[in-house]
Structure 1
Amino acid sequence: MTSRKTLGGRMARWLGIFVTTAGIGASSQAHAATAADQLYERTLMTSADARCRLFKPAVGSALDAARAQARGATLRSGVSEVQVQAVEQRARAKAGVAACNSPDLQTAAGRVRQAFDGYSTMLRMTYPGDRATWQADRSVSATIPIWRLSQPAGFGGDRLVFGLSGRANDMLAVAVFADNAQPYTARLVVRDTLRTQGPYLNARNAKGLAANAAPRNASRVFGAETRDAAPPTLLPTGAKTGLSFRFPREAADAMSRLDPREAATVEFVFTSRTGVDVVRRAYVEVGDFAAGRAFLR
């Protein structure tokens, strides 16, 4: 989207990019305002596109990915979830009353096309986070399973690749275990956004990403729907064999609603010799998962 400096006064007022940041600390206010401005603009234009069909699908998906990325940046800047939702609601309300043939809207749409046309043709994107990185790839294959959005992780001596794969963007956890152990199932544990007011950041007696994972009593748990031998193209680098667990589509929706700073937990469940379940846990940084997912559309 065109920056504040290049927008004329009338256009800037119509877009409403001078977003209030009441309640944000002075030290972070400038950064938060910039991120919130971008969130407002991109939410407004994605909402207007949904009503007026302003953009071709490739440009629309690129804009939506940028909107999701701006949302994550706004949360990272210290703005609360409630404040972010207020910005989004204000943007959607503005888009809802704009006439599709409005000169201001058409001018703004033209600037979006100019800004995102090249972005919409990109096949790959990297979304770095605080501790981990998502790799997005728009390539598809009718015969070879490939990662479309993925993040690797290590846990103990074991390794994991987690993300979306294939034409259907199935959510998978593909794991290799150093001792050749065979879990009988896997679970994805994410914060329940309907029962909590925000992420749990460094709130637990843990290190690394584990410190940013929500406690069990504040989480939703998704059990794996399938357990299969992993295709070689999805295995962690250098691995020859491994297991693939597929989670329900609803799990991807739930993860898209999380704060980028928090972590999701992937649990692998084994049966011990005594018959008691043993769990090994891996942690995945949420980061720009929502932006990467939107990029694939």
Structure 2
Amino acid sequence: MRIGPNQRLASTRVVRVGMIAALLVGQPLAALAQATALTAAPTGPYYDRAFMLAADQKCRLFQPMVARALTSATLQARGAAVRHGASADDLAATAGRASAKANATACDNPDLVRVRGRVATAFAGWAQTPRMTFPGAKADWMADRYGLVQAGWRLKQSVTTGQAPVTFGLVGDAGQGETLAAVVSFVGRSRPYAARIVLRDADRSARPWLPGRAGDLPPESLRLAVFSAGSSEAAPGLLEPTRKDGQAWRFPDAAADLIAALDPREVFAVEFLFRDDSIARATFEAGDFAAGRAFVDMGSL
């Protein structure tokens, strides 16, 4: 995640605090080396933040805004662990250890009280950050929490299909919630009559689909398609700067949960269907979509 100098300092502070969290409840000094190794491992930051989240759920440690910021950071740490080689089993085990430690820690534990203050201070500034970039391997998720007076992107990733720019993510409007949408501006061809999100079907394949060539989708037998709920002319604030018009295709909210559940190294696609049976495909990285969505959920500034 790309952040400013002040937020970068806060992020570092949280990781250090996390090591203290891993040593709560009077562990013997002999456990120090083990806890240090845990924090240094790919799942270390994820453990730290998952522990604090679990402790918050048990003890109500933080104000809602700080808890949401911590949720976003925890999801980001989870994605980073995956990109550094952590398996699904590693993540499940790490989350289980964090939850068990939180359940075994008294809410009035002096170390937890001290850590609580440090975490709250670190994430209070994070919660006031209006914009953030969540980098991916080849594409980023751009998040924006500034107040809106018209429809605009809250979370987006931009690619192209042929010569047409396509932006996908969460659209916000003044006084309205977020809607999952894709905006496309085709030139010199007819408009599509339908659009769909295509991604791995977790019910058919529990393991991530990680092909060697970037941009590959799973075989058709392992895919799930979620069709658009409708389309309209795109509002000016949703268009690429070089385009004057385009179509906005809206998708069910449940599709956002499906994308958030993907491995951050996986891809998904938005396909536009034309009446001549042709298909235009725009491919996106799952990346830190889940963390970006949690960041947006902190609300407008």
Mapping of 1:69-80 within 5 angstroms?
69-80=76-87
Residue from 167, 178, 184 that aligns with 2:187: 178
Residue 220 (structure 1) shift: 2.1
User: Match of 1:293?
Assistant: 293
Structure 2 letter corresponding to 1:289: F
Residue from 99, 110, 114 that aligns with 2:117: 110
Matched, 1:163 2:169: yes
Question: CA distance change for structure 1 residues 6 and 71 in 2, over 3 Å: closer, same or farther?
Answer: closer
The whole-number CA distance in structure 2 between the counterparts of 1:295 and 1:55 is 16
Secondary structure in structure 2 of the residue aligned to 1:136: strand
Once the two structures are superposed, residues 108-133 of structure 1 have per-residue CA deviations (whole angstroms, 9 ceiling, x without a partner) of 21121122121111000011111001
Contact 1:152 1:236 in 2 (8 A): no
The whole-number CA distance in structure 2 between the counterparts of 1:12 and 1:20 is 10
Matched, 1:256 2:260: yes
Runs (5+) with no aligned partner, structure 2: 1-12
How many residues are matched?
A: 277
Question: CA distance change for structure 1 residues 249 and 95 in 2, over 3 Å: closer, same or farther?
Answer: same
Matched, 1:222 2:222: no
Contact 2:168 2:182 in 1 (8 A): yes
Matched, 1:120 2:127: yes
Contact 1:263 1:284 in 2 (8 A): yes
Q: TM-score, normalised by structure 2?
A: 0.84
Question: CA distance change for structure 1 residues 236 and 104 in 2, over 3 Å: closer, same or farther?
Answer: same
Secondary structure in structure 1 of the residue aligned to 2:62: coil
Residue from 186, 198, 204 that aligns with 1:195: 204
Matched, 1:238 2:248: no
Structure 1 letter corresponding to 2:60: R
Runs (4 or more) in structure 1 with deviation over 4 Å come to 4-8, 15-21, 30-33
Contact 2:19 2:39 in 1 (8 A): no
Secondary structure in structure 2 of the residue aligned to 1:14: coil
Secondary structure in structure 1 of the residue aligned to 2:190: coil
Runs (5+) with no aligned partner, structure 1: 22-29
The whole-number CA distance in structure 2 between the counterparts of 1:244 and 1:184 is 12
Q: Percentage identity across aligned positions?
A: 40
The whole-number CA distance in structure 2 between the counterparts of 1:247 and 1:149 is 14
User: Match of 1:27?
Assistant: none
Residue from 148, 162, 168 that aligns with 2:154: 148
The whole-number CA distance in structure 2 between the counterparts of 1:257 and 1:133 is 17
Residue from 50, 53, 60 that aligns with 1:43: 50
Structure 2 letter corresponding to 1:114: T
Residue 46 (structure 1) shift: 1.3
Contact 1:39 1:67 in 2 (8 A): yes
Structure 2 letter corresponding to 1:284: F
